[in-house]
Amino acid sequence: MRLIATNIVAANRRRGIRYNPPMNIAQMLHHRALPSPEGTTPIPRHCTFGLISFVVLALVLTMTGAATAQTAWKPGKLVEIVVGVAPGGGVDRTARLLQKVLQDKRLLEVAASVINKPGGGGILGQVYLNQHAGDAHYLEISATSVITNQITGKSPSSWSDFTPIAMLCDEYIGFVVKADSPLKNGADLAALLKLDASALPAGIATSAGNTNHIALALLAKRAGGDAKKLKVVVFGSGGESTTALMGGHVGIVTAPAASALSGVQSGALRMLAVAAPRRLDGPLATVPTWKELGYDIVVTNWRPVLGPRGLTAAQVAFWEERLWRFTQTEDWKHELESTGAVAHYMNSRELAQYLAAQHAEFKIVLAEIGLAR
């Protein structure tokens, strides 16, 4: 700043303009020409403002540089992407794609790995995540269980015990039966649940009271049945529940539509309906929504990224930016198109507000079927 001001003064003196510097900025702003002692030339107003501009610019650049130096953060060691379920499911698939894109697109200067911590419907992964409080080298690809486990009493932790970073997508819940099931469409299922909600064993993963369970309970309720009588069998993963369906151990599976896609495409399974606000794009575009069939049911197993508690604003900002760039890649767009998932990016602030609203909504539904604690 001192050098800039000196250069301006020297240049003016070469043009024959001499002046004494003002006492303060107020003088410069409120007078057309600054007072000067006899024998000197007052500095014109346009020169005054030129000097102010240079000085202010120098101040801004200096302050900005100092602030950046104080707040910038980036990973300095291995990044662990935590998954609270076994390998092979939708959450695990998202984590592995994220890890690949971060490395292939050079979005990180350090290595990243996927760490599976299955157990307790995602609880073990959450416990592991918060063992690293304040450390942004640990992220979790989470799911709705971060809310439902707390409401049902399975976990003492809720979403607010972690650091919301970003939402990636929605996976709307599909209702799937074997191809040879006597249930030919959604209307058949609704009629059966109205008559006897316990008549059809239903497979879900990975914990009672999650969104797969909530979607089925809402259908039973909307159809006029007793949702508390539902016969629900809990499996460790979506793959396990589908295997049980194929073996005849359960009569229906409710799961994120993407997890049943391969079975539907092979002809082994049939998707009766999907709990989405509109029909999905891609290979599941022929599947009707429950709204089309007369039942107002929209349930999604959203896919957020959480950090351990206690992350700083700079750490959150780094991951927000990297995750936004991830969602703009062709790899991610292809994943959404091929699985029927729907893009739904939110930043940290938006995600926190959304999770609070979802907590309130889920608590009402789970209380109605006797699962809220």
- Residue spans of the domains in the chain: they are 2-67, 79-171+303-368, 173-284
Mean pLDDT across the stretch 2-30?
42
Whether the predicted pLDDT of 13 surpasses 70: no
> Of the spans 203-217, 248-262, 319-333, 334-348, which averages the highest pLDDT?
319-333
Instruction: Provide CATH code, domain 79-171+303-368.
Output: 3.40.190.150
Sign of the Cα torsion 105, 107, 108, 112 reads negative
Mean pLDDT rounded to a whole number for the chain = 84
Output b/e per residue, 76-97; b: 16+ Cβ within 10 A: eeebbbbbbbbeebbbbbbbbb
User: What is 173-284's CATH topology?
Assistant: D-Maltodextrin-Binding Protein; domain 2 (3.40.190)
With pLDDT > 90 as the criterion, what percentage of the chain qualifies? 66
Integer Cα distance of 350 and 145 in angstroms: 19
> Could you tell me whether strands 202-205 and 232-235 are parallel, antiparallel, or unpaired per DSSP bridges?
parallel
Residue 63: pLDDT over 50 = no
Q: Which amino acid is at 45?
A: R
> 262 and 90 in contact (C-beta within 8 Å)?
no
The pLDDT assigned to 326 comes to: 98
Q: What is the pLDDT of residue 60?
A: 43
Burial class (CB in 10 A: 0-12, 13-18, 19+), 253: buried
Confidence of residue 317 (pLDDT cuts 50, 70, 90): very high
Q: Do domains 79-171+303-368 and 173-284 have the same CATH topology?
A: yes
pLDDT interval class at 237 (50, 70, 90): confident
Answer yes or no: pTM beyond 0.95.
no
**Measured in Å, how far apart are the chain's first and last C-alpha atoms?**
63
- 121 Cβ neighbours under 8 A, 6+ residues apart: 84, 145, 149, 154, 206, 207, 210
Residue 71 is predicted with a pLDDT of 62
Average pLDDT over residues 276-281: 92
